[in-house]
Structure 1
Amino acid sequence: MVVNSVIIINKTFRNFLLLYIIISLILLCDVLIYNCGKKSISKTEFLQGEINVLFQTSINDNILKKILENEDIIAQSVAINENFVQLKVADQDMDVILHKLNNLPMIIEAEPNYILKNNNIGNITNNLKNDTLIFQNQINDNNIIVAVIDTGIDTLHPDLKNHIWINTNEIENDGIDNDINGYVDDINGWDFYNNDNTLCSYKYNNKTKEYVSNPNDCDNHGTHVAGIIVSNYVKLINISKLNSNIKIMSLKIQGGADGNGSIAAAISAIKYATANGAKICNMSLGGYTYSRILEKTIRESNMLFVTAAGNNGNDNDVNPVYPASFDLDNILSIAYTDKENKLERNSNYGKNSVDVVAPGTNILSTIVGGNYNQMNGSSIATPYITSIAALLYSYQNYTYPISVKNIITKSLDNISLLKDYVQYPGILNTTKIIGNLSQLKIDIVEPSIMYSYVYNGKKFMVNPIIIDKGGSEICLSKWLNGKKLISDFSRGTIGHTINSNLIILDKEGFYTLYSSDYSGNEKVLTMFLHNIQGKKLFLRTEKVHLKIGERYQIEYKLIPTNATDEIKYCSSNDNIASVSNYGKVTANQKGNCRIKIQLLNKKHKYLYIIVNDQK
């Protein structure tokens, strides 16, 4: 018995020891993987106590205050940008607040303010000399604006200063919001992280006697990205002989020692870039949490978004990274390769969700203080594709995102080793890009806007009819009270969004409809709403024979012909024949009934329905 007990104990100990060894090896592998550049995936990373809310229509402080009071929510608005609101809540259950907000009909979505991180894996060397980069080309007035949503950018860097966007509607350092866009002295962009116009944080290095990036608010990453865009663009322009220049709009949303940013800052930056005419937006950042608000904001911008796929070595088809994994026509997702054109082991990939690859290993570019550095990652590959997109827009300013994407994805030298990792397996060929410039599609035709409306006795029900005429597709449609100009909509960043092709309005008066397409063409139409009462109603026929299952659309004529009455329909027996709100009759079973067609003034006609039993 004792021997048997010892044997049992020894077996148990061996099993325990084996389990301990396996767990230790797993933990060790995790450490090794992390040290090779991978980062842990967190699906719940957000700024504590911060909520982003997207409303159906534009909002102001007074309306917001009433909504929060009605729902017993104690919160402070951090920022209000038309229909987007960033809230700060304290000592309350986030889930309860989100549940309350998402149940309100005037709210499209309420979600935590998720964190966005840079997609690079660190610096390799420091303060290298610039021996290989090209930054200068002939300066001219044909400028392609590229928004860089990232950390800040050293706008004083010798190789960047001539390529920095200037807001000509703002007077520098006068302390006044001259263009009335909500941002004071936004000459070269805006710092959405610190909420000021200081786009780069410097620190004086006593040893080298020069200004470098402040480690507590590092802006090397954004400066490095900007340098790649400018340098490669200038090379392409010199090769293609196009007469154009690039201007970088600095939109800082990431900062601090960790370089993190937020969805709220990204949304405000996207709206700013769209309103100020940027054609392309470089986003070398990402997060693993889906944001409906961010997706909708990107969809409603006519910019092409060039985004980093990530550096975790993960399959984005399985673990999506956003914004790169949004399934939108105006997004390009970029993985990165080594110098042998092989997918780098830390690069994310996705046969269905990642578009193309670009070089991202030991890439030399600008950093803060007039210096240069090498960095790795999909963050660093992304601006390479951005520069190519900028070349395409330089050739044809009225092209649009899907056309640019198509030229990029058809200008590759095929690499079979990449076929399981990206949608378009190959390396971009500059000669092919330039050779395909003439294949860019353009759209110079403004959208068509029409409308109809009815009055139901209390409200006007407006049905906008907006059609794309030039091929780039409708980007977004909005409306405002009163007579407005195209400029009043600030490229679609101002106004109430038209949802489900229906606008419900309380009062008579002037209203303006607006629409823009992805090529940037815009159109407005002013409408005057007033009730015109119907005097007489005539039916095309007063009796209809139908078979079971057959349908019939009621046709009528109103006097006056421009009457706006909402017509109401009612069946005397729905079992025999039912009628929709739009006058569509459906024969259900054998029998006779009548349909009442009535105006607001109670005047009405009857349509007699006879249903037989033949299907």
Structure 2
Amino acid sequence: MNVKKCILLSFLGLASGPLFAQMQESSADKAPLNWFNLDYQENGVRGVSTEKAYREILNKKKSHAVIVAIIDSGVDIAHEDLLGRIWKNEKEIPGNGIDDDKNGYVDDIYGWDFLGNKNGQDIDKETTEITREYARLKKVFENTQDAGSLTPKMKADYDLYLKYKAKYEEKVKELEEQGPFVIKLYEKYNESKQLLTTYFNKADFTREDLAKINDASSDDLKRAKRIFEVLEQMGQNEEKLKEAYDYFNSQYKFAINLDYNPRNIVGDDINNLKEKGYGNNEVKGPDARHGTHVAGIVAANRNNSLGVEGVCNDVKIMVLRAVPDGDERDKDVANAIRYAAENGASIINMSFGKAISPQKTAVDEAVKFAQAKGVLFIHAAGNENEDIDVNDNFPTRKYLDGKEAENWIEVGASSWVSPPGAVAEFSNYGHKSVDVFAPGVDLKSTVVGSKYEDLSGTSMAAPVVTGIAALLKSYYPELNAAQIKKIILSSALTLPGTKVTQPGSGELVDFGSLSSTGGIVNAYEAVKMAENMHAGHHSK
């Protein structure tokens, strides 16, 4: 999943398609602060009742630190609200250039970056997986005249080529419908801003200043004024316009660029799925905005007076950088999962995804390995407003052999807006494939440089569930992954008879039809259930 796409832009009403997940509209302008931790009965928003759980059940109980691995774009481990919340590999001596704990990674103090090299260089932008596979197969099959003469193996690859060619061209067409307009608007905006700054002799001109430009003014000034009026009429601003521009610019230059391949930066053999140890120990990377936001939702310090409050107050975040701006590679995901499982993580948060998985075998093996070690997976369902019972979103709990990972929770995004807007309009859904929904619209959390932002996406919903899982493990360490999953799903609050707008189609449907539980996770109900199990266990 493209990181910028997962961060969620709201621009020009384009969110009805898969390009952007748009902020929910409501009569209220803004989501209440900390809404995802609030309680519906007490606060009127469908948060997960974290504050209530701490206040009524956990206030005098002892917690134990839980290691949560976050496979993402990187994390700003120096963020003021994450200090003391980052995992440290005590078996490794920092900076000595030796693999002290013999885990295959040198000086891995806070985790590992699978997208870099030993010289500290890192991949930032990547292509989509469709682009990579289409480019690979295009070299082989572009000039094929007679498909009937191909061997069965070649014919299967040729069919894939045609499939990926169609998907690639569909993506290009989608970008062409919207991209040129946004790029041109941004360029015109900048020209207009420069002209008006010179005219008014100040950069922060107002609506009143613009009103002084009238029919007697030059055509250039009138055109410049009109650009600002158009943007205002759209309810947009310079920040959102630039983010939309950056998205499309990145898509054209990198995501769909058949000739772009930054993997030589890493220097590994991408086809050697057994290879490990490549990368570096610099876990922040070039753009840690997304991963830092995810980390804050799980673990931002609840006991200081700063910023925001994460769901769990006793977490150590293991940082595993494997998600660039573009599609992650299966090899990196598999190695990150194995690293997490081998180095003590109880829970893995995966706020990423993509449409195809050419090396899925490696990911499946890694998931099976981690599951055998008792690891719980929390995965974001994706932001394409699609039914993933029908459309693929990888990684998935479904193995190639037809079996499924048991310790896996697939998460859709809910909103703070009342029904029918209670489901994020960008969220994927699926009565079989999505387990549960969690807050994923307008969540304020940590971003790079000890700053905070409101972001939206199933990427934000997944760490809410990860935080609840960590909360249960922290206060009830005897619980295993299967038990934690069962508690989270069994305690989810259902909304019987509630009609919501189905993402993508806009139709009113039963909320219960969009996931297997038909519910929204709730920390208070989950803790209450765990407490009852704990009391029953100790009364025997």
In structure 2, the residue matched to 1:432 is 525
What RMSD over aligned residues (CA atoms) do the two structures have, in Å? 4.1
Distance 1:249 1:438 in 2: 27
Deviations 1:529-582 (A, max 9, x none): xxxxxxxxxxxxxxxxxxxxxxxxxxxxxxxxxxxxxxxxxxxxxxxxxxxxxx
CA distance in 2, matches of 1:356, 1:287: 20
Match of residue 268 from structure 1: 335
Q: Which residue in 1 is equivalent to 2:485?
A: 405
Mapping for residues 504-523 of structure 1, pairs under 5 Å: none
Q: Deviations over 1:495-539 (max 9, x none)?
A: xxxxxxxxxxxxxxxxxxxxxxxxxxxxxxxxxxxxxxxxxxxxx
Q: Give the Cα separation in 2 of the matches to 1:243 and 1:419.
A: 27
How far the C-alpha of 1:398 sits from its partner, in A, is 3.5
Aligned equivalent of 1:39, options 11, 15, 18: 18
What's the counterpart of residue 391 of structure 2? 319
The reply on whether 1:187 has 2:109 as its aligned counterpart is: yes
- Change in 2 beyond 3 A, CA 1:437/1:343: same
CA distance 1:38–1:176, change in 2 (3 Å) = farther
Asked if the contact 1:175/1:185 (under 8 Å) is kept, the reply is yes
Spell out the pairing of 1:22-33 with structure 2 (5 A cutoff): none
**CA distance, structure 1, for counterparts of residue 534 and residue 366 of structure 2:** 24
* Alignment partner of 1:359 out of 436, 439, 447: 439
Q: Quote the residue 2:514 is aligned against.
A: 421
The aligned residue for residue 585 of structure 1 is none
Match of 1:384 in 2: 464
1:335 corresponds in structure 2 to 412
Is the 2:67–2:344 contact (alpha carbons within 8 Å) kept by the matching residues of 1? Answer: yes
Q: Which residue of structure 2 lines up, in the alignment, with residue 277 of structure 1? A: 344
Distance of 1:243 and 1:382 partners within structure 2? 14
Q: What are the residue-to-residue correspondences of 1:76-225 with 2, within 5 Å?
A: 142-195=64-117, 217-225=286-294
Do the aligned partners of 2:23 and 2:441 also contact (CA within 8 Å) in 1? no
Q: Distance in 2 between matches of 1:429 and 1:158?
A: 28
Distance change (3 Å), C-alpha of 1:431 and 1:287: same
CA contact (8 A) 1:313 1:345 kept: yes
Q: Which amino acid aligns with 2:14?
A: N
Secondary structure in 1 aligned to 2:91?
A: coil
- The alignment-based identity, stated in percent, is 35
Q: Aligned partners of 2:119, 2:531: CA distance in 1, in Å?
A: 40
The structure-2 alpha-carbon separation of the partners of 1:174 and 1:122, relative to structure 1 and needing over 3 Å to count, comes to farther
CA contact (8 A) 2:488 2:522 kept: no
Q: TM-score, normalized by length of structure 2?
A: 0.51
Name the counterpart of 2:369.
Answer: 300
Runs of 4+ in structure 1 displaced over 3 angstroms? 37-40, 119-124, 130-138, 195-202, 231-235, 438-442
- Residue 324 of structure 1 contacts residue 332 of structure 1 at CA under 8 Å; is this kept in 2? no
In the alignment, the residues of structure 1 paired with residue 434 and residue 312 of structure 2 have an alpha-carbon distance, to the nearest angstrom, of 32
After TM superposition, give the deviation of residue 287 of structure 1 in Å: 1.5
Shift of 1:181: 1.7
Name the structure with the higher strand share: 1
Aligned: 1:344 with 2:424: yes
Q: 1:377 to 1:371 in 2, by over 3 A?
A: same
**Does structure 1 conserve the Cα–Cα contact (< 8 Å) formed by 2:73 and 2:323?**
yes
Following superposition, the deviation at residue 262 of structure 1 comes to: 1.0
Q: Distance in 1 between matches of 2:462 and 2:320?
A: 16
Greater radius of gyration (CA) = 1
Q: SS where residue 514 of structure 2 aligns? A: coil
The DSSP-based 3-state class of the residue aligned with 1:261 is: coil
CA distance in 2, matches of 1:357, 1:243: 18
Query: Are the aligned partners of 2:298 and 2:463 in contact in 1 as well (CA < 8 Å)?
Result: yes
Mapped partners of 1:284, 1:424: distance in 2? 20
CA positional deviation for 1:392:
1.2
Q: What residue ranges of structure 2 are gaps of 5+ in the alignment? A: 1-10, 38-50, 125-249, 251-284, 305-310, 399-403, 499-510
**What amino acid is aligned across from residue 423 of structure 1 in structure 2?**
S
1:245 matched to 2:245? The reply is: no
Per-residue CA shift, 1:45-93, capped at 9, x if unaligned? xxxxxxxxxxxxxxxxxxxxxxxxxxxxxxxxxxxxxxxxxxxxxxxxx
Whether the 8 Å CA contact 1:189–1:249 is kept in 2: the answer is yes
Aligned length: 311
Q: Residue 270 of structure 1 aligns to which amino acid in structure 2?
A: I
Distance 1:309 1:199, change over 3 A: farther
Specify the code of the residue in structure 1 equivalent to 2:380: A
Q: What TM-score, normalized by structure 1, do the two folds share? A: 0.45
Provide the C-alpha distance between the structure 2 equivalents of 1:399 and 1:199, rounded to a whole number of angstroms. Answer: 41
Counterpart of 2:332, as a letter, is: A
Other-structure match for 1:395: 475
Distance verdict in 2 for CA 1:328–1:232, change over 3 Å = farther
Cα distance in structure 2, aligned partners of 1:162 and 1:200: 26
1:196/1:142 CA distance change after superposition, 3 Å: farther
Q: How big is the shift at 1:243?
A: 11
What's 1:229 paired with? 298
Distance 1:168 1:222, change over 3 A: same
Helix, strand or coil at the partner of 2:378? strand
Higher helix residue share: 2
Instruction: Pick closer, same or farther for the CA change 1:37–1:295 going to 2, 3 Å.
Output: farther
Relative contact order, higher structure (CA 8 A, sep 6+): 2
**Separation (CA, whole Å) in 1 of partners of 2:33 and 2:529:** 31
User: What does the per-residue CA deviation read over 1:136-174, in whole Å, with 9 as the maximum and x for residues that have no partner?
Assistant: 999x99320000000110000011121000000011122
Sort the Cα spacing of 1:232 and 1:440 in 2 relative to 1 into closer, same or farther, 3 A. farther
The runs of 5 or more residues in structure 1 that have no matched partner are 1-31, 41-118, 203-214, 236-241, 445-615
1:372-428 alpha-carbon deviations (Å, 9 max, x no partner)? 111111001000000000011112324222211110111122113311100111223
- State the 1:198 CA deviation: 6.7
DSSP 3-state at the match of 1:282 = strand
Change in 2 beyond 3 A, CA 1:296/1:439: farther
CA distance in 2, matches of 1:352, 1:248: 30
1:421 to 1:148, Cα distance in 2 relative to 1, 3 A: same
CA, structure 1 residues 36+121, in 2 after alignment: closer, same or farther (shift >3 Å)? closer
Supply the distance in 2 between the matched residues of 1:392 and 1:284 (Cα, whole angstroms): 20
- Amino acid in structure 1 at the alignment position of 2:531: S
Alpha-carbon separation, structure 2, partners of 1:266 and 1:122: 29
- Secondary structure in 2 matching 1:333: strand
Tell me the distance in 1 between the aligned counterparts of 2:303 and 2:428.
29
* Cα contact 1:356–1:409 (8 A) shared by 2: yes
